[in-house]
Amino acid sequence: MKKTAIVMAGMGLLLAGCGSGASRPALSAAPATAHAIPATARATPATARATQAAPTATAVAPGARPPRPATAPAGPRPTVSAWWHPSGTGPNNGLEFQWELDHPLSTGSQLDMGNGVLNAAGRLAPRVSLYDIDGILNSAPLLADLHQQGSKVICYIEVGAAGNYYSAADEGEPVTYYDQLKAAGDLGRAVPGYPESYLDIKAASTTSIIESMIRQQCAGKKFDAVEPDIDDSYTDSTGFPVTEARNEAYDRTLAAYAHHLGLAWGQKNGDSDPAFSAALEPTTDFLLTEECNYYQTCSIVTPPYVRAGKLVLDAEYTADWGNDAAADLGHFCPADISGGIDGTLFTPALAGQRRPCR
């Protein structure tokens, strides 16, 4: 989901609905979720765009779905023998992590690059070596620059919902992915709090269009991995009858496609159900969870990945803990450090500010 200006006013909503599930920010201020557990962000890219008049996707009326047009196949699946396998080893239980989705990353900005910051011990943290950035708004030359600096880069995309955030020029395509999904009849109910609609993840056309996005944006620009936002939409009321097993099959299909393209594949959140993480971990290379300490769900979602020695990224938010970074880090870093988790404190805007545990 698109994030920033959508993030700062709804902490009340957030706290009102503490239940179970993954997160995304509310249309107001603090992160809220369409899931039972309102963990903040199903973080989304280019948040600044969220404040623009992006048309709100409408739900498809029952019985009014247009016939699905023929969708071009996503393309050949090259055989790739290896892709990046991020591990949970290193000074911070993994690579030094920067998550910046608010705008295109600027390598000339120390804030964007996430360097020169203090860790939980009050010492200068190591330079960032892992970036998670918007897959569409960031360019291939930027990726080449980050790689030249020795960094790994994760491609943020949405796989369970879509909003009309990007232009065809942004995507470098004649027709936007959103318009392709709309024309295929793959848009369902509106995502609460966002100008987006859920996707029919059972539809072959959805899979084909999302695979095209992975190929053209993530693989085409030479990203190292994919962060698939909203990969657990079975927990929401999407307008389509989707079971947990069907959602797992969809995620595994996309993971296999990413692997064929030489990309690592992640799991995003899924904090309400330990079975979901256990089912996905064997075919998934890393986990990104939001606020699992704040919502006390780390023990639900992280164990399969920690046991497998895979990278577990935990993003906690200043809006939850109290906006005093040093004190905020003290709330969760001891647990993350001892639990084999790569923990970092971010502002809800994901606009560059970060403080790692180590």
Predicted confidence at residue 199, as pLDDT, reads 98
Tell me the pLDDT band of 272, cut-offs 50, 70 and 90. Answer: confident
312 contacts: CB under 8 Å, gap ≥ 6: 88, 93, 94, 286, 287, 289, 302, 305, 306, 340, 341, 342
**12 has a pLDDT exceeding 90:** no
Buried b (16+ CB within 10 A) or exposed e, 65-78: eeeeeebeebeeee
Digit-coded pLDDT (tens) for 318-353: 999 888 999 999 999 999 999 999 999 999 999 999
In this structure, how many other beta carbons lie within 10 angstroms of the beta carbon of residue 269? 31
**44 has a pLDDT exceeding 50:** no
Q: Which of 108, 115, 183, 105 has the alpha carbon at shortest distance from 137?
A: 105
Domain ranges for the chain, please list them.
48-356
Predicted confidence at residue 322, as pLDDT, reads 86
Digit-coded pLDDT (tens) for 80-114: 559 999 999 999 999 999 999 999 999 999 999 99
**Pairing label, strands 196-199, 286-290:** unpaired
Predicted confidence at residue 37, as pLDDT, reads 33
The answer to whether residues 266 and 287 touch, using CB atoms and an 8 Å cutoff, is: yes
Report, as an integer, the average pLDDT of 250-269. Answer: 98
Q: Which fold is adopted by the domain 48-356?
A: TIM Barrel (3.20.20)
**69 has a pLDDT exceeding 90:** no
The pTM for the full model equals 0.82
Could you give the percent of the chain with pLDDT greater than 90? 75
In this structure, how many other beta carbons lie within 10 angstroms of the beta carbon of residue 338? 9
Higher pLDDT, 67 or 297: 297
Could you give the percent of the chain with pLDDT greater than 70? 77
Tell me the pLDDT band of 22, cut-offs 50, 70 and 90. Answer: very low
Predicted confidence at residue 79, as pLDDT, reads 54
Tell me the pLDDT band of 38, cut-offs 50, 70 and 90. Answer: very low
